[in-house]
């Protein structure tokens, strides 16, 4: 798998030495509860199992800050789920535009290097920051449904988004 770059970030394949940081950031309930698949509490075994999964691991990138090499979070595509993409950051890194920067690069990778014509994403109704990230990329609402959150151990209203290559290119050109 390749390494992707943006102005401030390196998106790279995970390494065994990432397990500790991954466990710390994903162990925060405020992070896990906004995702569907991350359990709470989150252990090093969970991180290891995630990284050992061949399909998920193939398209998962660590979000690393160029300035100091810090592991800040992760972003990935799920090919078995219609190229659904997702992203998360440790709480200290929220609010600096990193998620938008990382997701933008990931999506460009899906369109340009993987040849996809559309990618999907979703956000829980109480996570407007994520909805905002997706809107900034050009994604459009494509229905809503209840979706299980493993961390909350409950179904949560989830907005599904679709981002076509054409929408993305229009947004990029704007």
Tell me the DSSP string of 5-25.
E-SSEEEE---GGGHHHHHHH
Site for ligand COA (CB under 6 A): which residue of 6, 23, 127, 142?
127
Q: How many residues bind ligand COA (CB under 6 A)?
A: 21
Please state the closest distance from residue 39 (CB atom) to ligand COA, in A.
Answer: 14
The whole-angstrom separation of Cα 111 and Cα 102 is 15
Which residue's structure tokens are 């990329």? 137
**Residue 88 found at the interface with ligand COA (CB under 6 A):** yes
Taking CB under 6 A as the criterion, which residues in 10-39 touch ligand COA?
31, 34-35
Residue 63 touching ligand COA (CB under 6 A): no
Q: Is 142 in the site for ligand COA (CB under 6 A)?
A: no
| Residue-by-residue DSSP string for 143-163 | EEEEEEETTTTEEEEEEEEEE
Name the one residue in this structure whose structure tokens are 């997701």.
Answer: 103
Contact footprint for ligand COA (CB under 6 A): 31, 34-35, 86-89, 94-100, 123, 127-130, 132-133
């Amino acid at each position: 798998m390749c390494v992707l770059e943006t102005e401030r970030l390196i998106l790279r394949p995970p390494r065994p030495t990432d397990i500790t940081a991954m466990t710390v950031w994903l162990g925060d309930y405020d992070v896990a509860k906004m995702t569907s698949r991350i359990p709470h509490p989150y252990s090093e075994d969970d991180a290891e199992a995630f990284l050992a999964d061949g399909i998920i691991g193939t398209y998962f990138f660590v979000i690393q800050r160029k300035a100091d090499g810090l592991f800040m979070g992760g972003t990935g595509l799920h090919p078995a789920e219609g190229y659904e993409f997702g992203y998360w950051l440790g709480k200290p890194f929220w609010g600096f535009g990193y998620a938008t920067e990382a997701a933008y690069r990931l999506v460009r990778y899906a369109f340009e290097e993987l040849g996809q014509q559309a990618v999907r994403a979703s956000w829980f109704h109480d996570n407007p920051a994520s909805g905002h990230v997706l809107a900034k990329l050009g994604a459009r609402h494509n229905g809503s449904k209840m979706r299980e959150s493993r961390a909350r151990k409950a179904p949560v209203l989830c907005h599904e988004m679709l981002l076509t290559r054409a929408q993305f290119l229009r947004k990029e050109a704007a």
